[in-house]
Structure 1
Amino acid sequence: MAPALVETPRSNVSFANKGIADYKEAYIGGPAAYKQEAEVGGTAKQPPARYPNYLPTWDPEEKYPPLQPFVHKEHGKDADPTFPHLLENAKVTNLTSNIGAEIHGVELSKLTDKGKDELALFVAQKKVVVFRNQGFADLPIQDALNFGGYFGRHHIHPTSGAPKGFPAVHLVHRGAEDTTARDFFEERTNSVTWHSDVTYEQQPPGTTFLYLLDGPVAGGDTLFASQTEAYRRLSPEFRKRLHGLKAIHSAIEQADNSKNRGGVVRREPVTSIHPIVRTHPGTGEKALFVNPQFTRRIVGYKREESDFLLKFLFDHIAKGQDFQARVKWAPGTVVVWDNRVTAHSALLDWDDGQRRHLARITPQAERPEETPFEGK
């Protein structure tokens, strides 16, 4: 297996964090696979990167202290629910009947604060919203960060590459002529990696932005699942049983994976305990809050009991094609989703060496909380 695709053996994880889920990360190349010459100058088959200012860097000397708690402001609570400042000139098309929308006619970077408040609420309601024909990638990086910072404190990812001088930008990058997807499928039957971003943090992300810089002509789509609809599909008695349960979310596997592929660990890995069902502060909706990338074990359950229940929940989310949407990337696309009520997975379904390069701005939100069970 190529260095960029090394996975962390479960035996390296402390017993308290072991569980049914295994960490895998197929869609990011990492420093071992990165070739600066091919990215800046192109190759015989692939053009240079369209946005060289966004090319990833990994500084092993760059270290950050543990994250400290902060008070998050939920801007969706201040929004006009008729969305006059967001959708006045917009054409909105639902992606499915219960998750997702695509919007034309809105320039994100020009939204007023009232428009941003409405964006937070609209995204919480729709779960994932696709904006086309945006100039977001052409903004100075600091301007893009200033926009995203309205929605919460920026998260600095502990292991990913970032543009030089801008550690708060998380880069999803597979470079030109990187064909290690073929190696990955020597060991795996698929590349689906359902997760919500960095749920191991005490205050995981909320309204999140991902925008395309370069992408293959076909392939590299992103799947999204509604964790609220996944919750609602369960029987009332089963939902009632889930309430009050908490699970361990771990960053250890991601950090070890980065080390094993020659990457960086900017901050010591942490574990956090979060409720299995969380309530969104802006909509009041309840959602499942587990994912196979980071959720390791249910607190108070024996190993076999925890594995059994988590496997059911992971399978329930993964098999719920009737509450999932698939987003196809195109130049000028910005996807905004709410990490508190969705799960997502990139797809590694091309192996011809075309570059896939995206940037994520990841504002953190409140610590997950669960409101009392009310039969719904």
Structure 2
Amino acid sequence: MPSTATETITQPLQSLSLRSEPKPAAPAPAEPAAAAEQDDSNYKYKRFLPSFDQDFKLPPLEPFEHVDPGHKALSDPDPQSFLRGATRDDLTPDFGTELTGVNLRNLDERERAQLALFVAQRGVVAFREQEDFIDADPEWQLNDFGAFWGRLHIHPTSGQPAEFPHFHLVYRDGAKTYNFETNTRLTSSVWHSDVSYEAQPPGLTTLFLYDSPPTGGDTGYADQRAAYNHLSPSFRAYLETLQVTHSGVEQAEHSRKGSRGGVVKREPVINVHPLVRRHPVTGEKALYVNPQFSRSIVGLKQEESDAILKLLYDHIKSGADFQTRVRWKPKTVVLWDNRTTCHTAIVDFAKGGSRRHGARITPQAERPFL
């Protein structure tokens, strides 16, 4: 069962420092020449560009108790009152919604709880016209908005703004490749659930872009609840008896070889999670596997494990009837539930030399359970 105690965060998260003086960012590994470097000298969001500090090291994560804020909205007599006056466009009947007219900066505690429930129900929600959020003080973005949903996670291998390590950056331009490698595969799509190898993976996750190409660079989302429900009842029942290892080792080794800036801030971990997990607020069941971090099914022979996982991966990536796609219009903030969805960046803009630069706020949630 999920935990019932509330976590208290007692000091600003971005003030974390494990060294006496900041050190210059290490140069990124050389990339094949593809296009001219972006001129960042007058870039409005220059302070949020990736930095790679080889000396920035983090201790292992400790367990904590978490309660999803969406629980409070279950007893709310009007659980969608935060949508009053908003324009709503559902991307599909059951999965994905775009909202205009909701200012994320102005939500009170009750409305935030409603938002948590709404995102849990819809899976992914794009909030348009959020200039107040994009240009807000990053201390508010992290310590007020982000930390409301859980303990903020620092990604163990990605680039980060030098001042704010709790932002996980997505970055790609025509000359630098920090988070995406596309030239050795037929597609840039890598369906995944963020850092599922952690003992307590993320819950409600926030992503916004400082800069994006005029077209392309969308994010694809898949509903892991619907993926589960599309399977036959007998197969679902069997999958519910299984557990899966999730590993961060390969990601760390990829960085140690010089990719993505070459940093490993925290030693990698391997954890075991149920193959099917239950959402703590809605009670819905969802597949919890992804090809980026899931490795094997506990107790099965390798060939058996590989066959089942491949079937599920193929099912997820080909399930157009339970997928949607979010287009990154300027000043958009996207929230999704990392427990019941998976997603992929779509790097279809690289040859044009455009920059795609964004920040993810990644609160951890409960340990997966069924």
By the TM > 0.5 criterion, same fold? yes
Measured after TM superposition, the shift of residue 158 of structure 1 is 0.2
2-structure distance, mates of 1:191, 1:208:
22
Decide whether aligned partners of structure 1 residues 361 and 256 sit closer, same or farther in structure 2, where only a CA change above 3 A counts: same
SS at match of 1:368: coil
Match of 1:207 in 2: 204
Decide whether aligned partners of structure 1 residues 176 and 60 sit closer, same or farther in structure 2, where only a CA change above 3 A counts: same
SS at match of 1:38: coil
Matched, 1:320 2:319: yes
Measured after TM superposition, the shift of residue 218 of structure 1 is 1.1
Measured after TM superposition, the shift of residue 257 of structure 1 is 1.2
Q: How does 1:1-376 map to 2 (within 5 A)?
A: 31-32=28-29, 38-41=38-41, 48-79=42-73, 80=76, 82-135=78-131, 136-146=133-143, 147-175=145-173, 177-178=175-176, 184-185=182-183, 187-260=184-257, 261=259, 262-350=261-349, 351-370=351-370
SS at match of 1:244: coil
2-structure distance, mates of 1:182, 1:322:
26
2-structure distance, mates of 1:288, 1:128:
16
Once the two structures are superposed, residues 222-269 of structure 1 have per-residue CA deviations (whole angstroms, 9 ceiling, x without a partner) of 000000000111111010010120000000111111122241000000
Give the structure-2-normalised TM-score. Answer: 0.86
Runs of 4+ in 1 over 6 A off after TM superposition: 34-37, 179-183
Amino acid of the residue matched to residue 166 of structure 2?
A
Decide whether aligned partners of structure 1 residues 183 and 96 sit closer, same or farther in structure 2, where only a CA change above 3 A counts: closer
5+ residue gaps, structure 2: 1-26
Amino acid of the residue matched to residue 286 of structure 1?
K
CA contact (8 A) 1:226 1:342 kept: yes
213-222 vs 337-346, which deviates more? 213-222
Decide whether aligned partners of structure 1 residues 36 and 161 sit closer, same or farther in structure 2, where only a CA change above 3 A counts: farther
Amino acid of the residue matched to residue 316 of structure 2?
I
Match of 1:373 in 2: none
290-299 vs 256-265, which deviates more? 256-265
Give the structure-1-normalised TM-score. Answer: 0.85
Match of 1:27 in 2: none
Amino acid of the residue matched to residue 280 of structure 2?
P
1-structure distance, mates of 2:116, 2:357:
25
Amino acid of the residue matched to residue 129 of structure 1?
V
CA contact (8 A) 2:227 2:316 kept: yes
Once the two structures are superposed, residues 164-219 of structure 1 have per-residue CA deviations (whole angstroms, 9 ceiling, x without a partner) of 1211100001135448999833x211111000000000000000000011011111
Decide whether aligned partners of structure 1 residues 99 and 160 sit closer, same or farther in structure 2, where only a CA change above 3 A counts: same
CA contact (8 A) 1:179 1:353 kept: no
What RMSD, in angstroms, separates the aligned Cα atoms of the two structures?
Answer: 2.1
Give the fraction of aligned pairs with identical amino acids, expressed as a percent: 52
CA contact (8 A) 1:195 1:345 kept: yes
Measured after TM superposition, the shift of residue 317 of structure 1 is 0.6
5+ residue gaps, structure 1: 1-29, 42-47, 371-376
Measured after TM superposition, the shift of residue 53 of structure 1 is 2.1
CA contact (8 A) 1:90 1:106 kept: yes
SS at match of 2:182: helix
CA contact (8 A) 1:39 1:175 kept: no
76-85 vs 322-331, which deviates more? 76-85
